[in-house]
Amino acid sequence: MVGELVTAGVALASAGAVYLMAAARVVKQYERGVVLRLGRLASEVRGPGFTMIVPGFDRMRKVNMQIVTMPVPAQEGITRDNVTVRVDAVVYFKVVDAADAVIEVEDYRFAVSQVAQTSLRSIIGKSDLDDLLSNREKLNQGLAVMIDSPALGWGVQIDRVEIKDVSLPETMKRSMARQAEATRDRRARVINADAELQASKKLAEAAQAMSGQPAALQLRLLQTVVAVAAEKNSTLVLPFPVELLRFLERSGLQAQAQTAQAEAAARTQAPAGGQEQDRAQIQDQAQERVPVEQQWQPPVASREAVEAVEAVEGVEVTTSGDGGVLSPELEKLPEAEDLPKDLP
């Protein structure tokens, strides 16, 4: 009898231990327990710590309340300015209502992943390429709002969404590189032009300051020579100031003016004999300008020469009225009044 009681007690204790082991549950600090009793949701969600359920009647699901980091697969789309891009992102979310996460959606992780992908494709089509590359903060906020709207009904809260990478075609990368290079060249030219403008203003001020002191220009020239000679070149280029050329030109003009004045004074003070000599030179020059045919005169021979010729050759030599000797051939020519007047 005693043995039977002992056996029954041991069996009862064993059954209680098994029941206790089946009913005991431990919920971690970052988890919440959702109990379904005979398929219906229990009134309260079990918090962290030790808890008991009715074995065979209750079923408890533990929901992680930590922030979940979920990568969004890369989505390919066309931007508003017709550029094909490939964008991937990452979503940070957490469960705020364990009961809704279990009851309202079958798998809240998969649901959030799908909503993130569709929202990412939608945000690509609504944005320009420049916004995807430079204005990501605004796009991240818009993407988080698009994902958070349906996720609130599932007991899930979207903490933040980040666009991780934007992949561009190679042709677009080369075009953007050329554009960036052109922009940098434009900025460099603007900066150089600004520097030239400032330098020109300073040079104008320096020129104005040196114009008051002529020796300053010579000192500047010597400084330039020293700077060039310091490089130990085989050829020394010495700049020649334009002001020196102008000085030489003015000196030449003054010398010419002084020479002209001296000649005029000399002519005014010349003696009368000098004036007569000048007149003679002028007449000689005028005589030189007379035509040759008007200047020619027949040669004049002496009487002794004429007699000698007649004696030797036996020819009578006639002379012109002015004493010139004419040849027999010229004597045979007709006179001017005997020629016909209709000759050309």
**DSSP assignments along 260-281, one per residue:** HHHHHHHHHT--HHHHHHHHHH
Q: Which tens digit of pLDDT belongs to each residue from 221-253?
A: 777 777 777 766 656 666 666 666 676 677 777
pTM of the model: 0.52
Using only the alpha carbons of the chain, give its radius of gyration: 64
Strands (E), the chain: 24-27, 31-37, 40-41, 49-52, 58-64, 68-78, 84-95, 156-167, 318-319, 325-326
Q: What percentage of the chain carries pLDDT values higher than 70?
A: 72
For the chain, what is the largest distance between any 2 Cα atoms, rounded to a whole number of angstroms? Answer: 217
How far apart are the C-alpha atoms of 116 and 91, rounded to whole Å? 8
Q: Which long-range contacts (CB under 8 A, 24 or more apart) does 205-210 make?
A: none
Write down the mean pLDDT value for the chain: 76
Q: Which tens digit of pLDDT belongs to each residue from 273-301?
A: 455 555 556 555 545 544 444 444 444 44
| Helices vs. strands in the chain: H and E counts, helices first | 12, 10
Which range is least confidently modeled, 80-89, 187-196, 198-207, 257-266?
Answer: 257-266
Q: Which tens digit of pLDDT belongs to each residue from 54-83?
A: 888 888 888 999 999 999 999 888 888 888
How far apart are the C-alpha atoms of 230 and 236, rounded to whole Å? 10
Average pLDDT over residues 261-272: 70
DSSP assignment of 121-185: HHHHHHS-HHHHHH-HHHHHHHHHHHHHHHHGGGTEEEEEEEEEEEE--HHHHHHHHHHHHHHHH
How far apart are the C-alpha atoms of 91 and 144, rounded to whole Å? 8
Phi first, then psi: what are they for 298, rounded to 5°?
A: -65, 150
